[in-house]
Chains A and B, each alone.
Chain A
C-alpha cells in the first residue's frame, strides 16, 4: 500500500510518516504543493493525506487538479481550519474524509485503514464484531461460526447497529431501516426487537446499550 503525505510541517510530517510505516505502508512525504502536483501526476498511490495550508499551491488546488484529471485515489484532508464552509468546500472538491488538527493518532490510523479498504473493493458485505459476523448479502449472522437464529427484523436492527458500532443509532433510524417489512414500525416494536436481540447476543458478551432519549449503541469491544 502506498501512501503519499503532503504536509509542510516537518514535525507532523515525520510523526505521520513513522506511524504509517509502522503499519507497513510505503510512505512518501512531500512538503510543498507544486511538487505534490507533479508527483501525483506521475505516480499512483492508494491514499493521499493532504494538508490544506501548503506554501505556493494550497491543498484545495491540489485536490481540484487531482479530481480534474480523473484520479480517484482516496484523499484524507488534514486542516487547521474547521469552519463549516472549509469542510464543505473540501468534501465538494472530492475529499473522502476530513480531520481537524490536532487529531488522535489512533483515529487517523483507523480512518486511513477504512479509506484504503474502501478504495480497494466496493466494501465487504461481511460485518464483524468480535466473534459476531453478519453477512449482509446472505442475510445471515453467525456467532463463533455457529449460525444465529434471528428474524428478518432482528437482522435489520443488528445490521444498522453493526454498521455504526460504537456510535448511537436513534430509534427513528432503526424504524426507517425496518420500514420495508413493517408498515410504520412504532417505538415500542423497536424496543421489543432490541430486547430479543440483546437476549440472543448477551451470552457472547455483545452488549447493546440503551442511551436515554437517544437510541441504542453496540458497545465497542475493548480491543477494537
Chain B
C-alpha cells in the first residue's frame, strides 16, 4: 500500500489543510482589525498634538505666531523612529513654524480635521491636518496645522497584535493535528491488529477472524471476510472430498485389474504373453501408487476434516517404525537402509497419520531412486531450536536446477528411468508445512545422492 493512501494521511491532509487556510485568513483579518484600531488610537494622539499646537497659536501685532515651549519641541523631536513632524501655515499659506517641506494635503476640503497618508523624506507618513481659526469671529481666517508621524510605528504595533493573536491559534492547530494523528492511530489500531492477524496466518488456516476487538464500523468487513473464508473452506473441502472419493472409487477396479493380471501371469506359460502381462502389472502398480498419493495429498491439504488432529508425539519412535517397515522393500532392492538418532525421544506436535505418510513418501522416493547396492539413511538431528529429520541416499541425486521444481505436483526429473508420478515431494512439503516445518533439498555427504532435510519446531 503506497504511503500517501493511508487513512491517517488522508484524514490529516483533509483536516490540517483547510485548518491552515482558515488560520491564514483569520490572521489576515486579525491584522486588518488590529491596524484599524491602532490607526484610530494613533490618529487620536496625533490630533491631540495638533490641538495642543493649535492652542498655542497667538496673534501679536497682527502677526500670527505659535508659542511652543522648548520642552514640548524637544519632546516632539526626541526619537528618530517615532518622531513627530509638524508644520503651521497661515491663512494665506505663509510659513509660520515647523518643517517647511512637509507635504500639504492634496485637496483641502472644508473639514476642520482631515487625515491622509503621504511620503516624507522617502518614508510613509500619516498626517493630520487641522484648521484653527485665528481669533474666532475676527474674520482673519484660519491657520493650518499639520502633524505627521511615520507609519512604521503603527504597522509594527499592528504586527505585534497580530502575532499575539495568531501564534496561539497556530499552536492550537498544531496541537489539534498531533491529537488527530494520535487519535487516528488509536482508532485504526483494530484494523492494524486485523492486518497482522491476516498477515501472520498460514494459508492453511481458513478459520474465522475474531470479530470482538474490532469497532462497529469494521465488523461488517470482518463478517464479509469470514463469510468468504467459510465459503472458501467449504469449496476446498468439497474438492478434497471429491479427490478422495474418486481415489477410493478407483481402488476397487484397480484391485480387480491387479488381481487378474497377477493370476494371468501365473497361469500363462507361454513366453509371448508374459511380456505384455508384466507391462500391465507395472502399469497397475503405478496406478496404485498414484491413487495412494492422491489420497495422501487430499488428506494433507488444508480444509480437510482432519484439520486439527494434532497431538504430542515422539518423532523418533515414528521414524524408527516407518524405517523398520521399509526394510524388507529396501532389502529386496539390495539397498542398505539405516536409522540414526542420538535421541531417546524427540517430542513434536503433529498428526501421526500424516507424518507417517510423509515418511513413507520420503523412504519410497529414496529407495526407488537409489541404485542396487546403495545406501539410504534416515536421521534425527536436534539443533538448538528445532528437531531435524533427514533422509540421505547415495543415488543419482537431483540436479540443483531441478530442486525447486521437484516439489511441484506431477513434476518429474527426466532421465531417471524410474516409474513415479511426481507427487511424493509435493506431499512431503505439504505435510511438513502443515507441521510448521520446512523442507530443503541438498546433496548427500559423499558429494552425490540426495539429502532431504525437514525441520520441526519442538513441542512446547
Contacts and interface: CB of A to CB of B under 8 A. Distances in A.
Given A9-B255, A80-B252, A212-B377, A217 B331 contact: yes
Interface in B324-350: 324, 327-328, 331, 336-341
A181 interface: no
B338 A212 contact: yes
B143 interface: no
B320 interface: yes
Interface string A80-92: 1111100000000
A168 B327 contact: yes
Nearest to A10: B256
Nearest to B309: A84
Contact of B263 (A19, A211, A213): A19
Contact of A84 (B266, B337, B340, B353): B353
B259 A105 contact: yes
A187 interface: no
Contact of A212 (B262, B328, B340, B353): B340
Contact of B262 (A51, A100, A105, A220): A105
A167 interface: yes
A18 B320 CA distance: 39
A84 B291 CA distance: 17
Nearest to A7: B252
A130 interface: no
Interface in A159-179: 166-168, 170
Contact of B258 (A51, A102, A211): A102
A53 interface: yes
Contacts of A19: 259, 262-263
Interface of A: 9-12, 14-16, 18-19, 22, 51, 53, 78, 80-84, 100-106, 166-168, 170, 209, 211-215, 217, 219-220
Nearest first, the 8 A-B pairs at minimum CB distance are A212-B338, A15-B259, A11-B256, A213-B339, A12-B256, A101-B255, A102-B255, A80-B251
19 contacts: A19-B259, A53-B252, A80-B251, A81-B248, A102-B251, A102-B254, A103-B255, A104-B258, A105-B258, A105-B262, A167-B327, A168-B327, A212-B338, A212-B340, A212-B377, A214-B320, A214-B327, A215-B324, A220-B328
Given A11-B256, A105-B263, A212-B336, 10 more contacts: A11-B260, A12-B253, A14-B256, A16-B259, A19-B259, A80-B252, A101-B252, A102-B251, A170-B320, A217-B327
